[in-house]
Structure 1
Amino acid sequence: MKKIKTQLPETLWALGLMMAGSTLRKVKSRSWKKQRHFRLLEDGLTIWYKSRWAGKGHSTFSVMDVEAVREGHQSEVMLSIAEEFPAELCFTLVFHGRQGNLDLVADSPEEAQAWIQGVRKLIHKAQTMDEQERQDQWVRDWFQKADKNKDGKMNFKEVKKLLKMMNVEMNEDNALHLFTMADKCESGSLEIEQFVHFYQMLTQRDEVWKVFQDYSGDGERLTLEELETFLRLEQGEGDQSSQHAQQLIQRYEPSETAVKESSMSLEGFQMYLCSQEGSVFNPALLELQQDMNQPLSHYFISSSHNTYLLEDQLRGQSSLEAYIQALKRGCRCVEVDCWDGSDGEPVVYHGHTLTSKILFRDIISTLKEYAFKVSDFPVIVSLENHCGVEQQTVMATHLRQILGEMLLTAPLDGQIPHMLPSPQELRGKILLKAKKIGGLETHLDETLTDEVSDEDETANGDAESPSAEDPPAETTNKKSKLSRELSDLVVYCKSVHFHGFEHARSQAKCYEMSSFSESKAKKLAKDAGSEFIRCNARQLCRTYPSGLRTDSSNYNPQDMWNVGCQIVALNFQTAGLEMDLNDGRFRQNGCCGYVLKPDFMRDADSSFSPDRPEDRPGYKPARLSIQVISAQQLPKVNQKEGSIVDPLVRVEIYGVPQDQTKEETGHINNNGFNPVWNETLNFIVHSPELALVRFVVEDHDKTSRNDFIGQFTLPFTCIQPGYRHIHLLSKDGTAIPPSSVFVNVNVSELT
């Protein structure tokens, strides 16, 4: 094998080895290590593996499901076997979404490198596919699944069965007609290329053709001028339509002749509409484009609660992987619950529960490695401190030694701040949110006591529930001891008890912040929404789920954003509506984890009230009209043979109370392949700057709750008008290509 390596380019050698196959150890724990034979299939994107003793049984996964490859001991499982297997033999495949890692050990460093480099090359290839290549690969994947005897051919009976698997219910005569057209050799079966052609004929979309016909003079192509007219009148592009039209032809038109003539065919038009540029989310707003030079208190900050947990907060596993997953999703505020460890090393878990424990120092090492891979804006470590002074000092030592220059330990300019620094000024810095002895003004005068009043915050953190509080014997003390070394590390995020808005306005410092349970925050929002907004223009505040949510469910973050709360902490490990809203809010601005609040929430004298948005100066409500036209290739939710979905589309608005509303289409019977609705849903949005729009597709059920199929959530201000595709996401927020909904969106001012 080494000889081959010297004769071939690195990548070809690696892919050749992968296709020939390797026996690798699959590792699940220190005691579970089993050999499996892995190989790359001929399609170049599917990895097949089996036990050599398992007969015909095997498993496969697509490289398109793999997010990254980690070398060496970069997972908890790999760290546990570090003494047994050297780092150069080990690698970890990390999957999108909530699928667990695949930890593998090769027999030689060369073999490990072949798989590491090969999979990385294939990931890059998958990520750079255009829409047509992605669609073709999706069809090929289905063909591979259905070709049970692996002869590379499918007769009409097998094709009909495959169409059912793909959620297609269609007229048999029509299917047979298209099958015969694709069977150029008249062999009675289709090879993979012919099947791709058959599928392309099957997926020709009348609704796109009709839009094309409306603007095409000859019905065959769009001239440059006709495409400009479409972009200006339908897509709301105005003056920029001329230059953009030429770019779209260059980018999406498959015919070289048409490109030379500066025209676009129906195929190119459909590829544009299905592309990122044709998405309902304005691609310009996906980039980092907001002002990042305002005080921290002027931003919504993507924030996690109980970050260490992979599951529920009573028995769930605590894991470093949970921190990695949260940071990869753009989270900028993580929570660490610290308790005294039996051997002098602080541990992290959900106190007084059966959740497993991990070392504090390992979490800090993980933060050092992953804090700034997705975003280089500051990370806040929210410390819930239950440790005695001795182990608090150990924590301070770990923070300083492991993080080094990353850790912010003093005000940026050495001055007492009158307002918080900006994300831009704090780039690459990790901030500690915790209790502090005295304030920044005192410079930790030696005469200060090391004691902190218990009224500030229970257990030096967030008082969540009886299970999270200290035992009665400890909480009877009126004072709790705080390590001077740990206190010194708190700069801009000093945790304090909330004494009311009047006190905050007259006495509070900009670097002081309070935490509120969801019920306390909701009560404050209801009783004094405008005051809450004004307070949050000057200071940070954190909200967190009720301690009664033992299943680690979430509250609706929109209620907290409506009053300007910046650190709205959610259980990232729990999929559902609330995390959809969080992902939607932070999808903009480069997914950097910071989103600038609307201007009326950044003013310390603001009179804005979420209950009366119409009273705000500059109030401009918007009309949103969404024509739901069709959907494409929806996934099956019931895997029973012959079961096909009955889809409906619901549009939900989340924002100030007046904007909380939803409308839905009727359902289409037995069609998850190309259902057509042509139904229009209308909304009035009173505070567009705060609103989120969530598109949901469900499988209608008369007798029970509808099944979830897919969703996509985005800020109202990021919507592109015109004919757009909504590319659906699964329940855990990962893409499910090529599933989409085709809509025509109109946004206008309400007059």
Structure 2
Amino acid sequence: ALCIQDDPHVKVMMAGSTLRKVKSRSWKKQRHFRLLEDGMTIWYKSRWAGRGHSTFSITEVEAVREGHQSEVLLSIAEEFPADLCFTLVFHGRQGNLDLVAESTEEAQAWIQGVRKLIHKTQTMDEKERLDQWVWDWFNKADKNKDGKMNFKEVRKLLKMMNVEMNEEHALHLFTMADKSESGSLEIEQFVHFYKMLTQRDEVWKVFQDFSGDGEKLMLEELENFLRTEQQEGEQSAQHAQELTDRYEPSESAKKQGAMTFDGFQMYLCSQEGSIFKPEHRQLHQDMSQPLSHYFISSSHNTYLLENQLRGHSSLEAYIKALKRGCRCVEVDCWDGSDGEPVVYHGHTLTSKILFKDVISTLKEYAFKVSNFPVILSLENHCSVEQQTVMAQHLSQILGDTLLTTLVDGLIPQQLPSPQELKGKILLKAKKIGGLEVCLDETLTDEVSDEEEMANGECSDDPPKSKLSRELSDLVVYCKSVHFHGFEHARLHGKCYEMSSFSESKAKKLAKEAGTDFVQYNTKQMSRIYPSGLRTDSSNYNPQEMWNVGCQIVALNFQTAGLEMDLNDGLFRQNGCCGYVLKPDFMRDGSTQFSPEKPDGKQGYKPLRLSIQVMSGQQLPKVNQKEGSIVDPLVRVEIYGVPQDQAREETSHINNNGFNPVWNETLNFVIHTPELALVRFVVEDYDKASRNDFMGQFTLPFTCLQAGYRHIHLLSRDGTAIPPSSLFVNISISELT
């Protein structure tokens, strides 16, 4: 399938190797690994386990780490040298695979080979990707490996591919594809058969509407389509030329300045034809405003990979969260038995990790996906002695990365910006006294009571004996204080003071004093965390907190579901950098905005959103029960201010996950578009029990592109599941 197979490293992988799979210090077992002929699938089994084997696709692998770069491999470092060890890291929430090769050459072949294959899959275009997908299925179904398939086998394969189809129609297409009249299809013929089967009538109709001769779109016809349907206005002429250059496969059509149906379909399936405005994917917002003016992607109990009662505390959990663009991580510290502070969920059975290892991990991974600052939220349960040890680790390991001084040496009237704090880690913790006191050079260790009273600090600070001076001095812009009400904050609050609220407390304040909360959040930052009763690490809906401008809305990143979909959706814009600028009416200190009464806002302009759900393509199978085929339906959910919360769904289509066509229109009115998120969900309808989740995609309303668009679906884990998509037509208009 792929020409990369001549590569010497890939050849070693195809020949197969015996590698040790390591799960812990005591569990290390030999497995035979090899790359299958499709150049995409890695297959492995134990030598003696009879028929059982496992496979995974290169597309599921995010990266290869060389040497002892995982907790498991570090634990057996004495036994196996680093040059034999490597770790495969998967997308989403799937655990790592730790492996040990028998020789350095073999380890290198797998490390370099997998990296090349990952690069290859990332650079494939839509057409190659689809061909690869069809090829994968063909190989899965070709049981006797003769490279051919008769009609009965093809019918079985279609079922595996989620297609329930009219037998006559299938036989008719099969006969057309069987050019040699041998009663079976070879892979090229099967690809042809598949193309006929997936002929997209609904896309063909759109093409016909704009094509003068029904064969091709001339540049001005394509331009007309971009202007009238895709609502692209001014730049449509130049864009028509760019799209033809980029997506038209036929050289002769390009020369005539035309786009064929193939090119048109490739454009519609590409990033530019997707529902998400391409320019909003990039970093495009003003990053020079105070930190309090941004929503910040934030994680709760970051050290957990599973639940809060018996889960495994792990450095991997920090790596996964940071890779997802998280910019505020939480560390729960307790006294360790040998004078070294440990991190775990106190008073539970979760395992413990060393504080210094967490900080080393943070240093290595903090700025891999975003250069904007990371806030380290410290839950400190340690004795003064071990707090001092923590301060030493922070200073020694992080060095200049840790922000320990004021950006410009002045007492701030507002917080510094993400731009000014690039590449810095900020400590959020309790502090003795305020920044004002620290600047007074005559300051001794003890702050006198008069000074305390003068600073209005008395109420907030813990008794002096409980805090280590060294740790306290590392806190600059994120001083944790107790919340005494909005009135108190208006009179005495400092921009660098932060309070934490449980979800229930925040909900209550949002309902009773929404406008006060929005105003408070223009100047100070607030952190919201899940209720202590959520021992299963479930999440609350972050939207209610964003509606009142809370910046640090902490979620359990390890728990898949609606809430993390919303978080991923909000932060999918602005280069996935973990910071999103709040709407202007949430940044003005005298704002009167209230989420409960959106029509009271200046410049209030509700919008009508109309979504025609046209069709679905190659939807994923849900349950692998033999012969079961999905009955898909699409639901569109709106999250935003209370008045905007809405959901509408299509009817379900029996037995077709392959190319269902709905052609149903769902309508919404959006009162505060700047805060709204739109979530598309596909489910397998079941009248007897709960519908099964199949895929979803969530994005901010402000990032929607109008016109004919594809929505590329994501799994529960937020990872891509190509080639699954929805085809929709979106129109947005003012409510008159």
TM-score by length of 2: 0.96
**Which residue does the alignment assign to 1:684?**
669
Residue from 651, 654, 657 that aligns with 1:672: 657
Inter-partner Cα distance in structure 2 for 1:110 and 1:504? 63
**Which residue does the alignment assign to 1:251?**
246
Residue from 625, 630, 635 that aligns with 1:650: 635
> What whole-Å deviation, never above 9, does each CA across 1:454-482 have from its counterpart, x for those lacking one?
9749xx8xxxxxxxxxxxxxxxxx77600
Q: Is 1:446 aligned to residue 444 of structure 2?
A: yes
Inter-partner Cα distance in structure 1 for 2:448 and 2:199? 73
Q: Is 1:663 aligned to residue 648 of structure 2?
A: yes
Residue from 296, 299, 323 that aligns with 1:301: 296
Residue from 164, 180, 184 that aligns with 1:189: 184
Give the fraction of aligned pairs with identical amino acids, expressed as a percent.
81
DSSP-derived class of the 1:394 partner: helix
Residue from 72, 86, 89 that aligns with 1:77: 72
Residue from 230, 233, 243 that aligns with 2:228: 233
DSSP-derived class of the 1:277 partner: coil
Inter-partner Cα distance in structure 1 for 2:632 and 2:693? 10
Residue from 418, 424, 428 that aligns with 1:433: 428
DSSP-derived class of the 1:290 partner: coil
Q: 1:750 Cα deviation (Å)?
A: 1.5
> What whole-Å deviation, never above 9, does each CA across 1:389-413 have from its counterpart, x for those lacking one?
0111111111111111111111111
CA change 1:480–1:353 in 2 (3 A) is farther
Residue from 69, 73, 90 that aligns with 2:85: 90
Q: Is 1:589 aligned to residue 574 of structure 2?
A: yes
The question of whether the paired residues in 1 share the 8 Å contact of 2:5 and 2:39 is answered with no
DSSP-derived class of the 1:674 partner: coil
The question of whether the paired residues in 2 share the 8 Å contact of 1:454 and 1:479 is answered with no
> What whole-Å deviation, never above 9, does each CA across 1:501-529 have from its counterpart, x for those lacking one?
11111111110000000000011101110
Q: Is 1:411 aligned to residue 406 of structure 2?
A: yes
Q: Is 1:346 aligned to residue 346 of structure 2?
A: no
Alignment of 1:163-562 (within 5 A): 163-443=158-438, 445-448=443-446, 456=460, 481-562=466-547
Q: 1:448 Cα deviation (Å)?
A: 2.6
Q: 1:193 Cα deviation (Å)?
A: 2.1
Q: 1:722 Cα deviation (Å)?
A: 0.1
Q: 1:724 Cα deviation (Å)?
A: 0.2
Q: 1:276 Cα deviation (Å)?
A: 0.6
DSSP-derived class of the 1:534 partner: helix
Inter-partner Cα distance in structure 2 for 1:302 and 1:664? 30
Q: 1:447 Cα deviation (Å)?
A: 4.3
Q: 1:638 Cα deviation (Å)?
A: 2.0
Q: Is 1:743 aligned to residue 728 of structure 2?
A: yes
The question of whether the paired residues in 2 share the 8 Å contact of 1:68 and 1:93 is answered with yes
DSSP-derived class of the 1:222 partner: strand
Q: 1:449 Cα deviation (Å)?
A: 5.2
The question of whether the paired residues in 1 share the 8 Å contact of 2:13 and 2:110 is answered with yes
The question of whether the paired residues in 1 share the 8 Å contact of 2:359 and 2:398 is answered with yes
The question of whether the paired residues in 2 share the 8 Å contact of 1:454 and 1:480 is answered with no
> What whole-Å deviation, never above 9, does each CA across 1:246-299 have from its counterpart, x for those lacking one?
111111111111111111111111111111111001111000010000000000
Letter aligned with residue 665 of structure 1: T
Alignment of 1:590-609 (within 5 A): 590-609=575-594
Inter-partner Cα distance in structure 2 for 1:38 and 1:450? 69
Inter-partner Cα distance in structure 1 for 2:679 and 2:222? 30
Letter aligned with residue 630 of structure 2: V
DSSP-derived class of the 1:104 partner: strand
**Which residue does the alignment assign to 2:595?**
610
> What whole-Å deviation, never above 9, does each CA across 1:177-209 have from its counterpart, x for those lacking one?
111222222222222222122111110010000
Residue from 122, 125, 129 that aligns with 2:124: 129
**Which residue does the alignment assign to 1:28?**
23
**Which residue does the alignment assign to 1:570?**
555
Letter aligned with residue 448 of structure 1: E
DSSP-derived class of the 1:748 partner: strand
Worse overlay, 100-109 or 328-337: 100-109
Inter-partner Cα distance in structure 1 for 2:112 and 2:445? 59
Unaligned 5+ segments in structure 2 are: none
> What whole-Å deviation, never above 9, does each CA across 1:551-608 have from its counterpart, x for those lacking one?
1100000000000000000000110000000000000000000000000000111000
Q: 1:143 Cα deviation (Å)?
A: 1.4
The question of whether the paired residues in 1 share the 8 Å contact of 2:432 and 2:464 is answered with no
Unaligned 5+ segments in structure 1 are: 1-8, 461-477
**Which residue does the alignment assign to 1:710?**
695
Q: 1:75 Cα deviation (Å)?
A: 0.9
The question of whether the paired residues in 1 share the 8 Å contact of 2:619 and 2:658 is answered with yes
CA change 1:118–1:629 in 2 (3 A) is same
DSSP-derived class of the 1:377 partner: coil
Q: Is 1:103 aligned to residue 98 of structure 2?
A: yes
CA change 1:226–1:664 in 2 (3 A) is same
Inter-partner Cα distance in structure 2 for 1:310 and 1:455? 37
The question of whether the paired residues in 2 share the 8 Å contact of 1:450 and 1:481 is answered with no
Inter-partner Cα distance in structure 2 for 1:53 and 1:551? 38
Inter-partner Cα distance in structure 2 for 1:48 and 1:641? 22
Worse overlay, 561-570 or 673-682: 673-682
Q: 1:110 Cα deviation (Å)?
A: 2.0
Residue from 43, 51, 67 that aligns with 1:48: 43
The question of whether the paired residues in 2 share the 8 Å contact of 1:11 and 1:118 is answered with no
> What whole-Å deviation, never above 9, does each CA across 1:351-375 have from its counterpart, x for those lacking one?
1111111111111011011000000
DSSP-derived class of the 2:243 partner: helix
The question of whether the paired residues in 2 share the 8 Å contact of 1:450 and 1:484 is answered with no
Inter-partner Cα distance in structure 2 for 1:11 and 1:303? 45
Worse overlay, 20-29 or 371-380: 20-29
Inter-partner Cα distance in structure 2 for 1:730 and 1:678? 24
Letter aligned with residue 87 of structure 2: T
Q: 1:23 Cα deviation (Å)?
A: 1.4
**Which residue does the alignment assign to 1:728?**
713
Letter aligned with residue 392 of structure 2: T
Inter-partner Cα distance in structure 2 for 1:455 and 1:373? 40
Inter-partner Cα distance in structure 2 for 1:223 and 1:448? 80
**Which residue does the alignment assign to 2:614?**
629
Q: 1:238 Cα deviation (Å)?
A: 0.7
Inter-partner Cα distance in structure 1 for 2:376 and 2:578? 14
DSSP-derived class of the 2:217 partner: strand
The question of whether the paired residues in 2 share the 8 Å contact of 1:11 and 1:117 is answered with no
Alignment of 1:151-162 (within 5 A): 151-162=146-157
Worse overlay, 300-309 or 183-192: 183-192
The question of whether the paired residues in 2 share the 8 Å contact of 1:628 and 1:677 is answered with yes
Letter aligned with residue 644 of structure 1: I
Letter aligned with residue 153 of structure 1: K
DSSP-derived class of the 1:689 partner: helix
Inter-partner Cα distance in structure 2 for 1:584 and 1:694? 8
Q: 1:173 Cα deviation (Å)?
A: 1.0
Q: 1:634 Cα deviation (Å)?
A: 0.7
Q: 1:148 Cα deviation (Å)?
A: 2.0
DSSP-derived class of the 1:728 partner: strand
Q: Is 1:139 aligned to residue 115 of structure 2?
A: no
Q: CA RMSD in A?
A: 1.7
Inter-partner Cα distance in structure 2 for 1:224 and 1:450? 78
Q: 1:103 Cα deviation (Å)?
A: 0.7
The question of whether the paired residues in 2 share the 8 Å contact of 1:450 and 1:483 is answered with no
